[in-house]
Structure 1
Amino acid sequence: MDRNGEGRASLGHAAAGAPTPSRTAREHIERTERFAARNYHPLPVVLSGGDGAWVTDVDGRRYLDCLAGYSALNFGHCPPRLLRCAHEQLDRLTLTSRAFYNDQLGPFAEALAGLTGKDRVLPMNSGAEAVETAIKVSRKWGYVTKGVEAGRATVLTMSGNFHGRTTTIVGFSDDPLATDDYGPFTPGFTRVPYGDIRALADAIDDTVVAVLFEPVQGEGGVVLPPPGFLRELRELCTRRDVLMVADEIQSGLARTGRTFACDHDEVVPDVYVLGKALGGGLHPVSAVAADDDVLGVITPGTHGSTFGGNPLAAAIGHEVVAMLATGEYQERARVLGERLDTRLRELVGAGVLAVRVRGLWAGVDIDPALMTGREACEGLLRRGVLAKDTHGSTVRFAPALVATEDEIDLLVDALGDVLATARG
């Protein structure tokens, strides 16, 4: 039976309700809480296996994974094509450092440049590293190319943003959980309201080198920009000689039904920031993609990473780009997203206040008078569905793009049952 068929055969089992964690699961939870820093608040489930859109816990119980590693697992858990690629490369060469050439980076860089339509790419590891790289590139471009006075380069960011967890990045967050007790922060950033083109225009002066934005704010709750905003932003950046820097770490690589979320508005930014799904859920892979007039400011010794562009990462990333080049996953996200949107809207007024969907990615605002987002996720867990809350009463859904229509229905039916139970 194929992978998706196996998932459909298990729908009844998954929906039956999750039991109290077993002794084995409790031991894993207690050990993690004892020895790992508590920078997350996980749901009480201990996972030990994954296949496609499904995961299995230490007691053999299966769950439909509707978080998909914050879009890192767009192709599902343990995708056979990527596993074959990784196994082959593991047997050959994994790390050289950029002190030497390797036979995987060139083909990967060429393929990713082709996918983005840019001249070249700068490979890194995590998404946060890619954002930091884009900031450095933007600042140097501002000094070298635009002629900004030394030490005065400014990057405009947006309210509700989430670009990572490094000290520089959290410094322009407006989330107290990200900022409290972590200052002082790096200067050179000005935050404006998300989607407000007039505020952006007013904030641009001779020091501004870039506008850093998410075409869809994932951590914010799958917040969509106002209609026409991205096109207005593109025109503004072009007219004012400012780099348009799109953080497509979560939204890119087929999640929204197009290769990039910016594609929905037929907009091409100056800089793409990529990560998560670029590593196929197997290995940390990120990259910045831009044309020569932007990335050309980076010269030997001015930026680097021991693991960035390593042969294993490059081989996997190259295979990911090849998979995306077929358009299959973009189309799956579009079709399944339409079904998810239609089904979720059936719950508006029945415990759901609002729904926002872009491709196979949804933010669902639960009525806070009924329950919190965390309580909704705990209810879903008991019904064999894994999801993640954000900002109090919002739940995010991002199933793997290999999910089926039946599995989308399972997700919505489980949420409807959680809400109905809460309403009594």
Structure 2
Amino acid sequence: MKVPSVGEKLSPQDVERLRAGMALQMDHYAGGRLPFSCLKARGLVQHMVPLEGPDAGLVLEVMDASGGYASACLGAGHPRMQQALRDGLEDTGYVTDELGSLARVQLLEELFGPGGLWADRFPGDQYHASGRNSGSEGLELALRLVLETGFDRRRLSPKAGREGRRTILAFEGAWHGWTGGLVSLLNRRHYRLGLPQPTTEAPYGLEVSFLPYAEPEILERFFAENGSKLSAVFVEPIQGDGGIIVPPPGYLRRLAALCRENDVLLVADEVLTFAKTGRFFGMTDEQGPIPTDITVIGKSLGMGVVSTSMVIARRELSVRSSGAVSTSDLRPLTSAVLRSGLQYLVQEKLVERAGPLGEELRGRLKKDVVDAFPELFREVRGLGYMNGIELTEKSAGALTKLRTRVIEAGAFVEFMAGAGKRSHGLRYTFPAMRIAPPLIAGAEDLRELVARIQKGVRKFAEGTP
């Protein structure tokens, strides 16, 4: 298929081919997939065609504010990643974690060894790391590490003194993954009902309690009443699917202190926040790194080239022999890609500049989108390049049409579900438009992106066909 230039059209036969090919892939959206197809991409720009309507086949230039579920932090076709893949394929080999690998050693020592990039937070003599295919798999391993702390491997029985710690604290609106073990950490009946549920019966049963996120007083009361029953807390530093919820200052550090005081493991789900907030890790405040027992990173870690995640855990946390072997555990090619990409982020200071540029982005989104269309949007929230605009009830009811209009105006954004109905009498939170552009987006790119979002929203508000 020859790809026409922007403004030109595909033939009806090519449009039908794209429709038919799309139908061959399992639809995970119950018929709600977007009627667009991407033909090619480079950097922040994707060439897309609508598959339905009078403009079916018309090639559109669309700026990416998504990064492929926030994973392609270097955009599409980055030269550094092209070189990393070539070098990795030629030189690194393919050994599993049963053997050592030079590529793996180079990555890990540059991150956690003396003077390493993250050694101030995760010194190598106190932490170790494991790789997985995805964020969900990484969180599954984190959950396994938590459960193993309450198990005596020699006697094959509950560990003495931990028998009563069978509760995990999670948060309303959180998203930790689709897999069977993780849906128990989601307070969304839609994803749990009709599927096998983990047993809650002693001695090995798992119970999960849920609290509204970013509410300090509720958190304090819960620990005062239940701290001795907890085994772990799973937390996103900024809630993603909950609507880009940023906690108040001091909240995360106080949570870490409560966990430490009550002998509770703290698991940070940084799959989405990694490298997005103006720092590599969202578990950071003005005092510096906030201590965690287990941290899971992903998405941007793979630079949009490989699907991967990394679990960083205290060295005393491990699993029984061969109980967490993975085909994908920091394979040499993956390690080479990660190492080259992280080096590039540091050299170009892309993570740091996302802090001030993100603040400017939120200012423009507030002025040109939220304030300009108060009947459609409630507020803008975020840090760095991880931002969300909460919808009102009116716009949430026509979310697909809104998103379509924004794509037609030349911007690709995603929408987060929102926390919905929350406990403790807190207000309902509606879905949020997520604006999480690749880190290569500069100031001029962000200005153009906001202009295109505003144009699409105006078309939606005016009801223009």
Q: TM-score range by the shorter chain?
A: 0.7 to 0.9
How far, CA to CA, are the matches of 1:167 and 1:21 in structure 2? 44
The range that moved more, 43-52 or 395-404, is: 43-52
Distance change in 2, residues 1:63/1:22 (3 Å) = farther
Q: Name 1:319's counterpart in structure 2.
A: 340
Q: What SS class does the counterpart of residue 149 from structure 2 fall into? A: helix
1:194 to 193, 210, 213: 213
Contact 2:244 2:432 in 1 (8 A): no
**What is the aligned residue count?**
406
C-alpha distance in 1 between matches for 2:129 and 2:106: 11
Within 5 Å, give how 1:363-378 maps onto structure 2: 363-370=388-395, 372-378=398-404
More helix by share: 1
The alignment partner of 2:181 has SS state of helix
- Residue 78 of structure 1 and its aligned partner are, at CA, apart by 2.2
The aligned counterpart of 1:238 is: 260
The answer to whether 1:263 aligns with 2:284 is yes
Between 1:136-145 and 1:225-234, the stretch displaced more is: 136-145
| Aligned partners of 1:138 and 1:209 also within 8 Å | yes
Residue 287 of structure 1: how far off its partner (Å): 0.9
Question: What CA distance in whole angstroms lies between the structure 2 residues aligned with 1:380 and 1:21?
Answer: 24
- The equivalent of 1:44 in structure 2 is 35
Q: Does 1:121 align with 2:129?
A: yes
How far apart in 2 are the matches of 1:89 and 1:320? Answer: 12
Displacement of 1:246 in angstroms is: 0.7
- Aligned partner letter, 2:78: P
Which residue of structure 1 lines up, in the alignment, with residue 366 of structure 2?
345
CA distance in 2, matches of 1:288, 1:325: 21
CA change 1:209–1:144 in 2 (3 A) is farther
- In the alignment, does 2:400 pair up with 1:410? no
2:46 to 43, 46, 55: 55
Moved more, 335-344 or 103-112: 103-112
Specify the alignment match of 1:362 in structure 2: 387
How far apart are the structure 2 equivalents of 1:165 and 1:280?
22
Match of 1:184 among 197, 201, 205: 197
Matched, 1:28 2:24: no
Report the counterpart of residue 81 of structure 1 in structure 2. 80
Q: Which runs of 5+ in 2 are unaligned?
A: 50-56, 154-158, 201-205, 418-429
Unaligned runs of at least 5 residues, structure 1: 1-12
- Relative distance call for 1:326 and 1:209 in structure 2 (3 A) is farther
Question: Structure 1 length normalisation: TM-score?
Answer: 0.87
Partner of residue 227 from structure 1, selected from 245, 249, 253: 249
Measured at CA, do residues 299 and 323 of structure 1 come closer, stay the same or move farther in structure 2, by a change above 3 Å? farther
Kindly indicate whether residue 347 of structure 2 is the aligned counterpart of residue 309 of structure 1. Answer: no
Q: How many Å apart are 1:179 and its aligned residue? A: 2.2
When the two chains are superposed, the root-mean-square deviation of aligned CA atoms in Å is 2.7
Contact (CA 8 Å) 1:67, 1:396: kept in 2 or not? yes
Report percent identity of matched pairs. 25
Tell me if the contact between 1:143 and 1:153 (Cα under 8 Å) persists in the aligned partners.
no
Work out the CA distance in 1 between the residues paired with 2:199 and 2:235.
Answer: 18
Q: Please give the per-residue CA displacement for 1:115-147, whole angstroms capped at 9, x wherever unaligned.
A: 333232112221111101111112223446985
CA offset at residue 332 of structure 1? Answer: 2.5
Change in Cα spacing, 1:186 to 1:131, as seen in structure 2 (3 Å) is farther
What CA distance in whole angstroms lies between the structure 1 residues aligned with 2:324 and 2:403? Answer: 41
Partner of 1:380: 406
339-348 or 167-176: bigger deviation:
167-176
Contact 1:279 / 1:316 at 8 angstroms: preserved in 2?
yes
Structure number with bigger Rg:
2
Please say if 1:398 is aligned against 2:436: yes
Q: Match of 2:266, SS?
A: strand
**Contact residue 67 and residue 387 of structure 1 kept, 8 A:** yes
Q: Matched residues in 2 for 1:251 and 1:194: separation? A: 16
SS in 2 for 1:245: strand
Contact map agreement 1:115 1:321 (CA 8 A) in 2: no
Q: Tell me, in whole angstroms, the C-alpha distance in 2 between the residues paired with 1:19 and 1:405.
A: 32
1:22 is displaced (CA, Å) by: 5.7
1:276 equivalent to 2:299? Answer yes
